[in-house]
Amino acid sequence: MQGIDLHTHSNISDGELLPEVLVQHAAKAGVHTLALTDHDSMDGLKRAEIEAQKYEIRLISGTEISSQWSRPATKRTYGVHIVGLNMQQPEVLEQVLQQQKQIRATRAVDICQKLEKILKHDFLPEILQQVDGHTDRITRSHIAKALVERRAVSRLQQAFDRFLKEGKPAFVKFEGLGLAETIQAIHDAKGFAVLAHPTRYDLSATNIRYLIGLFAEHGGDAVELPPAIDPSSTRQMVDRLIDEHQLSVSVGSDFHGAHMPWLRLGNIPKIKENQTGIWEKF
């Protein structure tokens, strides 16, 4: 398992590094099997693949799709990220990703319009500079960075806490694919569907259990293991649910760059003896 990282981001979405440079850093970190999983995009894969060949790194095709699910008992819809891995027919997924990109672009403009009303400043031109003018690449992290640079907030997390999180004045929901549709789209592309960072959605333990059960019910393939910094009780809960629903596991750093130093390339949790890594099925 050492040397595997199946969840990373380049500047094609909200990472800092060019796809080529990400591969170079992965090589330095001892990673031999790498997945580039930019948000709702596979645009950086060809560039990363060319670089990976120089370092004899096995590059796994990937993307992290913004999806949503609901629970009748709460009458709420929740956001969730599903990582698609090892798509053998990636072109099948491109149409879905194009739709997701348009949703992302519209959402970014809507958030900026809300912020302009609140802070009396148009942030969109500054944010577009971060993404080479591609509105469909804008994530809330880009918007948070612009807020920090404009000194509207002092830290990235403060931008989310004051403006961008659900319930805050500039929040705009991502109206993406539903959970079942996302899993099916990945399977149609002959890939594997992975539930990304299940303990990072501000969900109660009850809702995490429900989400993983729903993911399995809809044919999901693997659950990403929590990072080592999570409490042992959290890992134990996720391990039990993986075993209960007979799911495989995936491991990834969710690396973005130097602005998130706690997420380091190749820094992944250990799997248990009874668990099956999704990479064993590639």
Q: Which residues of the chain have pLDDT under 50?
A: none
Beta strand extents in the chain (DSSP E only): 4-8, 33-36, 58-71, 76-85, 177-178, 192-195, 222-224, 248-250
Angle, to 10 degrees, between the axis of helix 179-188 and the axis of helix 91-119? 140
Q: What is the pLDDT of residues 82-109, one digit of tens each?
A: 999 999 999 999 999 999 999 999 999 9
User: What pLDDT, on the 0 to 100 scale, is given for residue 174?
Assistant: 93
Supply the pTM of this predicted model.
0.94
Report residue 127 as tokens. 């944010």
Phi, psi of 198 (to 5 degrees): -65, -15
Q: What is the pLDDT of residues 233-268, one digit of tens each?
A: 999 999 999 999 999 999 999 999 988 888 999 999
User: What pLDDT, on the 0 to 100 scale, is given for residue 258?
Assistant: 87
Tokens 């992975």 map to which residue? Answer: 194
User: What pLDDT, on the 0 to 100 scale, is given for residue 1?
Assistant: 59
